[in-house]
Structure formats: structure tokens, C-alpha cells
A = this chain, B = another copy of it.
């Protein structure tokens, strides 16, 4: 399997490019508009044909590359069925399996960070891996105070959907702010300080007390992402260093 994890330092976003191998059809998860040229260069150099560009949810901190990738490659634009982005060409339902030339991704509905967040389980490849978007981060969880976020639903998604996966399942989130690239379900069950050993009530109280500042770019990024990032600035000059 060809697996490339790519970091956007401005928004601390992790993007994933996957294919069964060089020369095959490929998919990309959570691409940033600012890095469009990098993705297109890699797709060309690895002789891939990009057929699906997926956003786990409507991002509030960066502009998506979905629209630009569609224009450049003809790929489908993919999000979960609850998205409000009208530019999405393929809305996946819970438990639906996307098959890209041998790469199989199962869609898991994991609301909480937003009400339309999906995770994607790479299966049956070994090692098994799950792309968790912002609902489950490495030793953290995504904030739940905007875009119809809900701490109780975040707790349920993490503990009932993601923590139901085998402990050895690798966790690949949409962000990391401390230089980590992946984790595992078992580690997050035991060592995630927000949720390990916490009741639903404790987690909801913890998330309510975070008192985070409003994301600087949310009023630009969300409307732009509802248009798949087309006709929007990449925002890289305006964002803080991640």
C-alpha cells in the first residue's frame, strides 16, 4: 500500500494520500487548498489517478482543496451524508464502504466536533487504521463549541464507535499540535487525558469549561468550505503558525 501523511504547518493539519501502489487509483483525506500544488505533484510523480477527495467534516481552520482537486483531476468530492456543502458529489452513509482500486474505507458516523463528522476505517488492510478527523485527536479531542458540536455526542462517538475498534487500530487524526503522527485505539483508551476513565458527565463538564477563543478563520473557512474551497483564498498568510 502507498500511504503518505502530509503536514500543513500553518493549520497543523494532517492530510493522507492512499493508493494500493504506484500507478493505481488514489484517494486523499482532508487536503488543504494551500498545498494543492504539492498534492498534484505527488499524484503525478507516483503516477496515481486521484479518484476521490474526502473531507471528514467542514473544517473551520483551513480552506479545503476538494474543489480545486476536482477541477484539476476530475475526482469525486466526498463527505458524510449530513454535510451542508452542496458542492459534494458523493455523500457517504454510515457503514458504507468506499473501494478505491483495492483500498477499502468504511464510513463511520462520529458526530461531536461537528454534527456531520465522519471517521473512515481502513480495513481489511494490516495494520488496521482509522482516520478520525477532529473527533479523536492524539491525547486530545476536537472542541465541541461550534458548528453544532456537542460534547455528549463526541463522548458517545469516541467511546462507542471508535473505542469499539480493536486496540491495535492505528489512529490518524486531522490535526496534531505536538509533532505526533499517529496513535492507537488502545493508547487513547488508556492515556487520552480528556476521556480515559471519564464518565460522560465528567467529559461534558470538561469540554464546557475549556473556554477556547473563537477560531480566527472560522467566518472565512466555513463558508469557503461549504463551496469546497473554490473562489476562496488559501488563508495561509493570515493564520498563526501551528
Top 9 A-B pairs ranked by shortest CB distance? A7-B179, A5-B181, A45-B191, A6-B179, A241-B241, A8-B179, A9-B179, A6-B180, A45-B187
Is there contact, CB below 8 Å, between A4 and B35?
Answer: no
What are the interface flags for A178-221 relative to B under an 8 Å C-beta threshold, 1 for contact and 0 otherwise?
11111000110011000000000000000000000000000000
Shortest beta-carbon distance, A27 to chain B, in Å?
17
- The residue in chain B whose Cβ has the minimal distance to the Cβ of A13 is B179
Interface residue A238 (Cβ < 8 Å from any Cβ of B)? no
Is there contact, CB below 8 Å, between B179 and A38?
Answer: yes
Is there contact, CB below 8 Å, between A180 and B4?
Answer: yes
What are the interface flags for A3-33 relative to B under an 8 Å C-beta threshold, 1 for contact and 0 otherwise?
0111111000000000000100000000000
Listed in ascending order, the chain A residues whose CB lies under 8 Å from chain B are 4-9, 22, 35, 38, 45-46, 178-182, 186-187, 190-191, 241-242
Shortest beta-carbon distance, A14 to chain B, in Å?
9
> Provided the pairs A45-B191, A46-B187, A187-B46 are in contact, do residues A4 and B179 lie with their beta carbons within 8 angstroms?
no
> Provided the pairs A7-B7, A9-B9 are in contact, do residues A178 and B46 lie with their beta carbons within 8 angstroms?
no
Is there contact, CB below 8 Å, between A4 and B181?
Answer: yes
27 A–B contacts, CB within 8 A, in A order: A4-B180, A4-B181, A4-B182, A5-B181, A5-B182, A6-B179, A6-B180, A6-B181, A7-B7, A7-B179, A7-B180, A7-B181, A8-B179, A9-B9, A9-B179, A9-B242, A22-B186, A35-B179, A38-B178, A38-B179, A38-B180, A45-B187, A45-B190, A45-B191, A46-B187, A181-B181, A241-B241
Residues on B with C-beta less than 8 A from A46 are 187
Q: How far is the CA of A162 from the CA of B181 in the complex (A)?
A: 25
Q: How far is the CA of A115 from the CA of B240 in the complex (A)?
A: 39
Given contacts A38-B180, A45-B191, A46-B187, 20 further A-B contacts (CB under 8 A): A4-B180, A4-B181, A4-B182, A5-B181, A5-B182, A6-B179, A6-B181, A7-B7, A7-B180, A7-B181, A8-B179, A9-B9, A9-B242, A35-B179, A38-B178, A38-B179, A45-B187, A45-B190, A181-B181, A241-B241
